[in-house]
Structure 1
Amino acid sequence: MVDRDYIPERGDIVWLDFSPTLGREQRGKRPAVVISSKIYNERSGLALVCPITSKAKGYNFEVEVIEKKITGVALADHARSLDWKIRNPKFITKLAPENFREIISKLTVLIISA
Structure 2
Amino acid sequence: MVAGYVPDTGDIAWLDFDPQAGREQGRRRPALVLTDQNYNRASGLMIVCPLTSKRKPYPFALPVVLDKVEGAVLVDHLKSLDWEVRNASFHSKADPALLSKVRTYVAVLLHLPRGRV
The answer to whether the superposition gives a TM-score over 0.5 is yes
Task: Report deviation, 1:70.
Answer: 5.8
| 1:22 correspondence with 2:26 | no
CA distance in 1, matches of 2:59, 2:26: 21
The superposition leaves residues 1-31 of structure 1 with CA deviations (integer Å, 9 ceiling, x where unpaired) of: x421000000000110000011110011000
User: What residue number does 1:60 align with?
Assistant: 59
Question: In structure 2, how many angstroms separate the alpha carbons of the residues matched to 1:73 and 1:31?
Answer: 11
| Equivalent residues, number | 112
List aligned pairs for 1:34-113, cutoff 5 A. Answer: 34-68=33-67, 71-112=70-111
Residue ranges of structure 2 left out of the alignment (5+ in a row): 113-117
Residue identity (%): 44
Classify the secondary structure of the residue corresponding to 1:85: coil
For 2:68 and 2:10, how far apart are their aligned partners in 1? 15
CA contact under 8 A between 1:14 and 1:93: conserved in structure 2? yes
Over residues 51-84 of structure 1, what are the superposed CA-to-partner deviations in whole Å (9 max), with x where a residue is unaligned? 0001112210011222456642100000100001
- For 1:105 and 1:38, the matched residues in 2 are separated by 20
Asked if 1 retains the 8 angstrom alpha-carbon contact of 2:54 and 2:70, the reply is no
Compute the displacement of 1:90 (Å): 1.0
Give TM-score scaled by structure 1 length. 0.92
How many Å separate the matches in 1 of 2:35 and 2:95?
16
1:101 alignment partner, SS class:
helix
What is the root-mean-square deviation of aligned Cα atoms in Å? 1.5
Take 1:35 and 1:71, find their aligned partners in 2: how far apart are those partners? 21
Structure-1 separation of matches of 2:89 and 2:16 = 10
